[in-house]
Amino acid sequence: MGKSSIRGNEYQTKVNFGDCDPAGIVFYPNFYRWMDQSTHHYFTALGHPTSHLVMKEKIGMPIVEAKCQFHSPLLFDDIVTIHSTIIEMKNKVFTINHDFYKDGKKVAGGYEVRVWCDMSSENMKAVTIPNDIRNAINHTESLV
Amino acid sequence: MGKSSIRGNEYQTKVNFGDCDPAGIVFYPNFYRWMDQSTHHYFTALGHPTSHLVMKEKIGMPIVEAKCQFHSPLLFDDIVTIHSTIIEMKNKVFTINHDFYKDGKKVAGGYEVRVWCDMSSENMKAVTIPNDIRNAINHTESLV
Amino acid sequence: MGKSSIRGNEYQTKVNFGDCDPAGIVFYPNFYRWMDQSTHHYFTALGHPTSHLVMKEKIGMPIVEAKCQFHSPLLFDDIVTIHSTIIEMKNKVFTINHDFYKDGKKVAGGYEVRVWCDMSSENMKAVTIPNDIRNAINHTESLV
Amino acid sequence: MGKSSIRGNEYQTKVNFGDCDPAGIVFYPNFYRWMDQSTHHYFTALGHPTSHLVMKEKIGMPIVEAKCQFHSPLLFDDIVTIHSTIIEMKNKVFTINHDFYKDGKKVAGGYEVRVWCDMSSENMKAVTIPNDIRNAINHTESLV
């Protein structure tokens, strides 16, 4: 309700020549690269740029699971819009859903499960998602 | 039974500097790149190199679904062994499972669902997996 | 004269998390990926999208030489603007220069030498750069 | 003289499906990725694995210049051998040459200029190449 048509959890990218394989379609690991980019964009739009989190606060969000289903191939020069939504948030773990659209048609859909981690020592350690982040996500997703 | 310790469905790779991200661990889309490489290696070991299938016979194997779970991070210079097994084969679709090992310990596991496709025209078209391929897979996997 | 401040031969990209290496700076082969993207963008801005040239007309522009000098590292979330200029055009070969800017400061500079090629048969063959392309480039670069 | 036929400064890789573009040949930035890999391999063969240098000693070797010339395209499944040689070593800077061979024929050749850097603080700082590294290189290259 009341969300504008341009939302922080929309990320747009273009299919580059080098993203495509000899079959002329996107080489599929690039979809996961774009999911990763869209997750970073999500937190930036939330007011918590991951470049700051990662480089200054030594916080990381390593992946424990990622899945994607591919419905239609993407081609060189296609414009892709990714809608990203955090659909579940536990104490230290969250799941972010990513739907890929081309010309308004869903072409792929997947998710990532990520862990909030302190990377300041050599062994990264899962930590509780801080309240300011948690509140910002809840507000964006209307989870509360 | 009777399988040698070095199997066609084992693929080995090394984690390169450029495969790792600012957190010092493998950037996760690379796991899918390695699953892709291991699938190509699987068919090559079967006697059906995908370079021949793709470039000469215009056969492709686009992905309809891929998932991976990550148990332990991989680091620069780690040696990774991937065990790849076709666990399901339908008329035009197969599922290939990939388990990642480092020093004998499973660090990640995933699968790809792929469709056998004729790529000779502009619109790729799913076709029946040919009998010689099917037989070679059945023989390797002892599915029959 | 009379060129607007936003020019077709300016390409902008953002440094993603996955573009950076364990040293926290851009993994250098990505600069060449961006040079490639900027060249494709250049032809698209010229009215000759390479997606059309490559996929429909079977024209390619393989590289025969590429060089880049790196003055300052780029970091995660940096915005990079690439100014691309065709500085030499022979019968079948052209040189495109790429300068990388961050916050108005040049951080890297390089070039690609590319050959206009007919890719319709298995062996690609260098061909003369067509007049409409040549004229569009001359007009953009004020080479004439 | 007296060097064996298998040398530490030879690095071998295979062209993967995902390394190739819609033109069916290697997407050219990958050559720089392979130059980077071959440089890392060079130091590992020298007895100074860069994974140790980078992760433990906080030493990096950022690039200040890289150039490559491409003579023949590489195709999916090609085996590539890279001969890497340090051809110049100054106080803090060295140049490493990389020649790419396929079936004994040179297909590409380039070089990287790299700076020995202390990455332990936020601003990396060029430092003198240590004597043990310098001696190992001189011995390998018969520069002395």
Contact D23 C66 (CB under 8 A): no
pLDDT at position B7: 55
Which of D17, D24, D51 is nearest residue B76 as measured by Cβ atoms? Answer: D51
pLDDT at A56 over 90: no
Mean pLDDT along residues C41-69: 94
Residue bearing the bigger pLDDT, D24 or C92: C92
Contacts with A73 from chain B: Cβ below 8 Å? 62, 124
**Mutation for testing the A interface, residue in B32, B71, B106 having most A CBs under 10 Å:** B32
State the pLDDT confidence band at D4, using cuts at 50, 70 and 90: very low
Contacts with B22 from chain C: Cβ below 8 Å? 17, 20-22, 24, 76
Residue bearing the bigger pLDDT, C63 or B122: C63
- Kindly report the nearest CA distance between residue B132 and chain D, in angstroms: 22
Which of C54, C70, C124 is nearest residue D22 as measured by Cβ atoms? Answer: C54
- Kindly report the nearest CA distance between residue C119 and chain D, in angstroms: 7
pLDDT at position B8: 57
SS3 string of A40-53? HHHHHHCCCCHHHH
Cα angle at B40 between D103 and B121, to 5 degrees?
95
pLDDT at position C143: 58
Which of D21, D24, D76 is nearest residue A17 as measured by Cβ atoms? Answer: D21
Mean pLDDT along residues D62-85: 97
Lookup: tokens for B22: 């600012």
- Kindly report the nearest CA distance between residue D24 and chain A, in angstroms: 5
State the pLDDT confidence band at D6, using cuts at 50, 70 and 90: very low
Lookup: tokens for C104: 């108005």
User: A40, A48 in Cβ contact below 8 A?
Assistant: no
What global pTM score does this model have?
0.94
Contact D40 B33 (CB under 8 A): no
C75 CB neighbour count, 10 Å cutoff: 16
Neighbours of chain D (3+ CB pairs under 8 A): A, B, C
pLDDT at position A123: 81
Contacts with B17 from chain C: Cβ below 8 Å? 21-22, 27
Which of C63, C70, C73 is nearest residue D70 as measured by Cβ atoms? Answer: C63
> Any idea what DSSP says for residue A103?
T
- B2 in the Ramachandran plot: left (φ > 0), alpha (ψ -120 to 50) or beta? left
- Kindly report the nearest CA distance between residue B17 and chain C, in angstroms: 7
pLDDT at B3 over 60: no
Contact D29 A20 (CB under 8 A): no
pLDDT at position D141: 86
pLDDT at A144 over 60: no
What average pLDDT is seen over chain B?
Answer: 91
Q: A29-45 and B29-45 are packed helices; what angle lies between their axes, rounded to 10 degrees?
A: 170
A136 CB neighbour count, 10 Å cutoff: 17
State the pLDDT confidence band at D3, using cuts at 50, 70 and 90: very low
Closest CA to A36 of B23, D11, B39, C70: B23
Report how far apart the first and last C-alpha atoms of chain A are (Å, whole number).
Answer: 13
pLDDT at position A49: 95
Torsion of the alpha carbons at A44, B70, D119 and D33, rounded to the nearest 10: -100
Range scoring the smallest mean pLDDT among B71-85, C99-113, D59-73, D119-133 = D119-133
pLDDT in tens, C24-33: 899 999 999 9
Percentage of chain A lying above the pLDDT 70 cut:
93
Which of D18, D24, D55 is nearest residue B76 as measured by Cβ atoms? Answer: D55
pLDDT at position B5: 41
pLDDT at position A140: 87
Lookup: tokens for D101: 């061979």
Give the integer Cα–Cα distance in Å for C96 and C82: 12
pLDDT at position C122: 75
Q: Does domain C5-143 have CATH number 3.10.129.10?
A: yes
Residues of A with CB under 8 A from a CB of D: 17-18, 20-22, 24, 27, 29, 76
| Domain chopping of chain D, boundaries | 5-143
pLDDT in tens, C88-143: 999 999 999 999 999 999 999 999 999 999 988 878 899 999 999 999 999 888 75
Percentage of chain A lying above the pLDDT 90 cut:
80
| Secondary structure (DSSP) of B39-91 | HHHHHHHTT--HHHHHHTS-EE--EEEEEEEE-S--BTT-EEEEEEEEEEE-S
Contacts with A20 from chain D: Cβ below 8 Å? 21-22
Contact D23 C65 (CB under 8 A): no
pLDDT in tens, A84-141: 999 999 999 999 999 999 999 999 999 999 999 998 887 889 999 999 999 999 988 8
Percentage of chain C lying above the pLDDT 70 cut:
93
ipTM of the complex: 0.93
One-letter amino acid of B112: E
Range scoring the smallest mean pLDDT among A6-15, B35-44, C53-62 = A6-15
Give the integer Cα–Cα distance in Å for C46 and D104: 41
Q: Which residues contact B33 (CB under 8 A, 6 or more apart)?
A: A29, D16, D18
pLDDT at position C3: 39
pLDDT at B125 over 90: yes
In whole angstroms, what separates CA A115 from the centre of its chain?
Answer: 13
Mean pLDDT along residues D116-120: 93
pLDDT at position C40: 96
Contact D37 B16 (CB under 8 A): yes
Contact D18 A21 (CB under 8 A): yes
- Kindly report the nearest CA distance between residue C40 and chain A, in angstroms: 8
pLDDT at A19 over 90: yes
pLDDT in tens, B4-16: 344 558 999 999 9
Mean pLDDT along residues A13-35: 96
